[in-house]
Amino acid sequence: MSQKTILVTGSDSWIGKWIAQLAHQEWWKVIVHSKTDTDELKNIHKDLEWSDKLFFDISDQETVKKEIWEYIKHHGCIDCLINNAGVKTVDIKKIEEFDGKKSLAEREVNVLWSLYCMQSVIPAMQKKWGWSIVNIASMKWIPQLSTISSITYAAAKAWVLSITRSIAKTYGKDNIRCNAISPGYIQTGRSQKWSDETKERIDWGILLSRLGTPDDIAPVALFLAWDEAKYITGENILVDWGYMLKGK
Ligand X SMILES: NC(=O)c1ccc[n+]([C@@H]2O[C@H](COP(=O)([O-])OP(=O)(O)OC[C@H]3O[C@@H](n4cnc5c(N)ncnc54)[C@H](OP(=O)(O)O)[C@@H]3O)[C@@H](O)[C@H]2O)c1
* Site residues (vs ligand X, CB under 6 A): 10, 12-16, 34-36, 38, 57-59, 84-87, 109, 136, 138, 183, 185-186, 188-190
When the beta carbons of 160 and 229 are compared against ligand X, the nearer one is 160
DSSP designation for 2: P
When the beta carbons of 2 and 192 are compared against ligand X, the nearer one is 192
When the beta carbons of 6 and 109 are compared against ligand X, the nearer one is 109
User: What's the rounded Cα separation, in Å, for the pair 24 and 45?
Assistant: 11
Contact criterion met (CB below 8 Å) for 33 and 9:
yes
Q: Which residue type sits at 104?
A: L
DSSP string, 209-228: SS-B-HHHHHHHHHHHHSGG
Q: How far is the CB of 231 from ligand X (least distance, A)?
A: 25
Q: How far is the CB of 2 from ligand X (least distance, A)?
A: 28
Looking at the DSSP assignment, which residues form a beta bridge with residue 236? 180
Task: List all residues 6 or more positions away from 173 whose beta carbon is below 8 Å from its beta carbon.
Answer: none
When the beta carbons of 78 and 85 are compared against ligand X, the nearer one is 85
192 burial class (0-12, 13-18, 19+ CB within 10 angstroms)? exposed
Radius of gyration of the chain (CA): 18
Q: How far is the CB of 229 from ligand X (least distance, A)?
A: 19
When the beta carbons of 79 and 216 are compared against ligand X, the nearer one is 216
Q: How far is the CB of 97 from ligand X (least distance, A)?
A: 21
Q: How far is the CB of 35 from ligand X (least distance, A)?
A: 3
Contact criterion met (CB below 8 Å) for 240 and 184:
yes
